[in-house]
């Protein structure tokens, strides 16, 4: 019998990355926004998460935008409804640490003070992701 998870993170790519900075003094007060989209392909047993991330500071001194695409595979097509919690809750949570590291590295290597995002509970993205998930063939 094979020993594998019903839902597996296969990897991610950053498909868009923008960082803009002006002469204003950056504020330590930042806003962080997420916009998730999901695509389920039952025939190929995969789920793809597109996660748009936007960070701005209060003084509008910098703007950072990232689009990350993560791929996941799943088993048990017949029980796909049972996997929904994995798609909508766990998929963003599995991707977020990579985004945190990318943002920290990108800002540090760009000559800015690094932005070190805290560990976040990504559960709140579940409803938005559920609404923005479509089945593809």
- What's residue 61's pLDDT? 86
Give 29's contacts (C-beta < 8 A, 6+ positions apart): 57, 58
Residue 80 phi/psi, 5° resolution?
A: -55, -35
> Is the pLDDT assigned to residue 6 strictly greater than 70?
yes
Alpha carbon distance, N-terminus to C-terminus of the chain: 29
* Domains of the chain as residue ranges with CATH: 7-135 (3.10.420.10)
Q: What's the whole-model pTM score?
A: 0.87
Under a CB-based contact definition with an 8 Å cutoff, are residues 38 and 132 in contact? Answer: yes
Order across the sheet with 7-21: list the strands. Answer: 7-21, 62-74, 46-57, 30-41, 133-135
| Average pLDDT rounded to a whole number, residues 46-63 | 92
pLDDT digits (tens, 9 = 90+) for 58-99: 888 889 999 999 999 988 665 566 667 778 888 999 999 999
Tell me the C-alpha distance between 61 and 59, whole Å.
5
């Amino acid at each position: 019998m094979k020993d594998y998870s019903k839902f597996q993170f296969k990897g991610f790519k950053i498909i868009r990355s923008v960082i803009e900075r002006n002469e204003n003094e950056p504020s330590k007060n930042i806003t962080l926004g997420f916009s998730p989209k999901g695509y389920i392909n039952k025939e190929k047993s995969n789920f793809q998460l597109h996660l748009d991330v936007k960070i701005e500071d209060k003084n509008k001194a910098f703007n950072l935008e990232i689009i990350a695409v993560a791929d996941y595979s799943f088993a048990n097509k017949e029980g796909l409804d049972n996997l929904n919690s994995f798609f909508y809750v766990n998929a963003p949570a599995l991707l977020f640490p990579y985004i945190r590291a990318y943002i920290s590295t990108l800002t540090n290597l760009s000559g800015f003070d690094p932005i070190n995002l805290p560990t976040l509970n990504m559960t709140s993205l579940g409803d938005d992701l559920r609404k923005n998930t479509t089945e593809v063939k």
